[in-house]
Amino acid sequence: MGDHHHGPAKGLGRWLFTTNHKDIGTMYLWFSFAMFILGGFFAMVIRAELFQPGMQLVEPAFFNQMTTLHGLVMVFGAIMPSFVGLANWLIPMMIGAPDMALPRMNNWSFWILPPTFLLLASTLFMEGGAPAFGWTFYAPLSTTYAPPSVTFFIFSVHVLGLSSIMGSINIIATVMNMRAPGMTYMKMPLFVWTWLITAFLLVAVMPVLAGAVTMMLMDIHFGTSFFSAAGGGDPVLFQHVFWFFGHPEVYIIILPAFGVVSQIIPAFSRKPLFGYDSMVYATASIAFLSFIVWAHHMYTVGMPVAGELFFMYATMLIAVPTGVKVFNWVSTMWRGALSFETPMLFCLGFLVLFTIGGFTGLMLSIAPADFQYHDSYFVVAHFHYVMVAGAVFSMTAAVYFWLPKWCGKMYNETMGKTHFWISFVGFNLAFFPQHFVGLAGMPRRIPDYALQFADFNMMSSIGAFIYGASQIMFLYNVIATIVSGTPVSDEKVWDGAEGLEWTVPTPAPYHTFETPPKIDPAHAHS
């Protein structure tokens, strides 16, 4: 361990005042896991109510609060912070930097999150209940017709945006300024590339979200009419503004996941990534396209046909760079020497299920067909294939992949593989049947449904319970590893792993790369 410099401070102060990227990364990861459990608990309430037709456990108004909070907590509390945590841990180690560029801001961008989610969760106990207008909070349901707690929701969103923007600025500053000498942009690991692009997306769209909620605030409390037709405003304006944020947002979630998969698949294929350059260009293309496709979420609002056609063609185009990525991963595996440790299993799960989610995404992009798919369970199935099997599976893979590096101990491989298979079966059981009920006409966000949807909903609930329960095994495995895992001291941990983070000792010392590493100029990229 460190032959010079101090280690971490002692006690609670270490965590409260830390400016160390590894500590902050760790806090982000634990926080996001706690939110994953909370959001998962909301999902379990939803699936329990939908287990059978009829109202059994909760009232419709509370059901709507559950769907709303489930979405908000999972998107803003679980998935986004988890990838920020990963970025904190890995980006400095991957580019040979001693820490993030702005360590004090780093501390703050994390520590404003927990109180914000406490505030958001506390709306459940307020008079009128928590926000019940869906995570997309369309006006005027979220303005004129919202419960009083909406003001607290607006404040939460503002602070979350602040945290994301600070985190992104930090990542951009770090990647642009702190790369080790010789680490040119086209030598950066793909995870760093995808996060750099993601950070630009975040800086571009979080202010738009802040604008949307500020307009809501004005409509609710200060008598403006941005989203009220009665005062000359337009409810559809809200949707345009929201989705101008919302569509890049889904790529903000998935691009770092692409980065993770692009690190792990080559490692367990023991073969370099097939097309590094084209992966970078594909990521940038997806990011660009994400700004000009937002209204494909709004095909049924009554846009002029020319607008519909533009958004349909632009959306279909996204299939091209996304296809490039999938083909690249598959070609990387081709004629490699594959092995199937837990991180690789989760990446393969990602590859298959994300591709299915991509296919349904292509189907949804077809405007005329979307008149039948829109706001049905088909959409719910689609975005859970990309959000859960895409983002969450890759995040899980990342934890298994880098955990031994972080704590110097190996997780239980059998339990990891079991976790994968139970997750895989549970996930598909939960979400595959939702394609069927959606196509058969079941709208989303309903607390009760017609009898012809009963069988598939019951399957879906059982699958969701299985998937939910499998996360307890994940938690146990991670804790058991940290507490009593088999020690590993090999710097590389995995024989196929490439990159600077695998050149530091295992476990990674508190301070790494205080002197920049030498980058072999002949080496193409890590």
Residues marked as catalytic: 70, 99, 135, 163-164, 247, 249, 251, 262, 296-297, 322, 325, 444
Which one, 323 or 509, has the nearer CB to other proteins?
Answer: 323
- Neighbouring-strand partners of residue 443: 376
Using CB under 8 A as the criterion, what x/- string covers residues 162-201 for binding other proteins?
----------------------------------------
**Full DSSP string of 439-466:** HTTPBSS-SS--GGGHHHHHHHHHHHHH
Which one, 101 or 429, has the nearer CB to other proteins?
Answer: 429
Which one, 170 or 376, has the nearer CB to other proteins?
Answer: 376
Min. distance of Cβ 500 from other proteins in angstroms?
Answer: 20
Q: Which H or E run includes 487?
A: strand 486-487
Residue 53 touches other proteins, criterion: CB under 8 A? yes
Q: Which H or E run includes 494?
A: none
Residue 327 touches other proteins, criterion: CB under 8 A? yes
- What's the rounded Cα separation, in Å, for the pair 224 and 243? 21
Interface of this chain with other proteins, residues 435 to 464, rule: CB under 8 A: 436, 439-441, 443-452, 455-456, 459
Min. distance of Cβ 322 from other proteins in angstroms?
Answer: 9
Please state whether beta strands 409-410 and 486-487 pair in parallel, antiparallel, or not at all (unpaired): antiparallel
Interface of this chain with other proteins, residues 402 to 441, rule: CB under 8 A: 421, 424-425, 428-429, 432-433, 436, 439-441
Which one, 305 or 522, has the nearer CB to other proteins?
Answer: 305
| Cα dist from 231 to 137, 218, 219, 282, whole Å | 20, 13, 10, 44
Which one, 16 or 55, has the nearer CB to other proteins?
Answer: 55
Residue 237 touches other proteins, criterion: CB under 8 A? no
**Of the candidate residues 118, 176, 186, 309, the single one contacting other proteins (CB under 8 A):** 309
Q: How many residues bind other proteins (CB under 8 A)?
A: 99
Min. distance of Cβ 388 from other proteins in angstroms?
Answer: 15
Residue 8 touches other proteins, criterion: CB under 8 A? no
- What's the rounded Cα separation, in Å, for the pair 137 and 19? 35
Residue 308 touches other proteins, criterion: CB under 8 A? yes
Min. distance of Cβ 334 from other proteins in angstroms?
Answer: 5
Which one, 20 or 365, has the nearer CB to other proteins?
Answer: 365
CB-based contacts of 505, cutoff 8 Å, min separation 6: 1, 489, 491
Residue 86 gets the label, from left (phi > 0), alpha (psi -120 to 50) or beta, of alpha
Which one, 116 or 262, has the nearer CB to other proteins?
Answer: 262
**Of the candidate residues 16, 229, 472, 475, the single one contacting other proteins (CB under 8 A):** 229
Under a CB-based contact definition with an 8 Å cutoff, are residues 326 and 275 in contact? no
Using CB under 8 A as the criterion, what x/- string covers residues 71-110 for binding other proteins?
----------------------------------------
Which one, 458 or 504, has the nearer CB to other proteins?
Answer: 458
Min. distance of Cβ 67 from other proteins in angstroms?
Answer: 8
CB-based contacts of 490, cutoff 8 Å, min separation 6: 506
- What's the rounded Cα separation, in Å, for the pair 400 and 419? 11
Under a CB-based contact definition with an 8 Å cutoff, are residues 292 and 355 in contact? no
Min. distance of Cβ 111 from other proteins in angstroms?
Answer: 34
Min. distance of Cβ 491 from other proteins in angstroms?
Answer: 20
Residue 240 touches other proteins, criterion: CB under 8 A? no
Hey, what amino acid is at 401? F
Under a CB-based contact definition with an 8 Å cutoff, are residues 12 and 43 in contact? no
CA 453 to chain centre: 30
| Cis preceding linkage at 521, omega within 30 | no
Residue 408 gets the label, from left (phi > 0), alpha (psi -120 to 50) or beta, of left
Using CB under 8 A as the criterion, what x/- string covers residues 117-156 for binding other proteins?
---------------xxx---x-xx--xx-----------
| Cα dist from 368 to 104, 309, 358, 435, whole Å | 50, 10, 18, 18
Min. distance of Cβ 25 from other proteins in angstroms?
Answer: 30
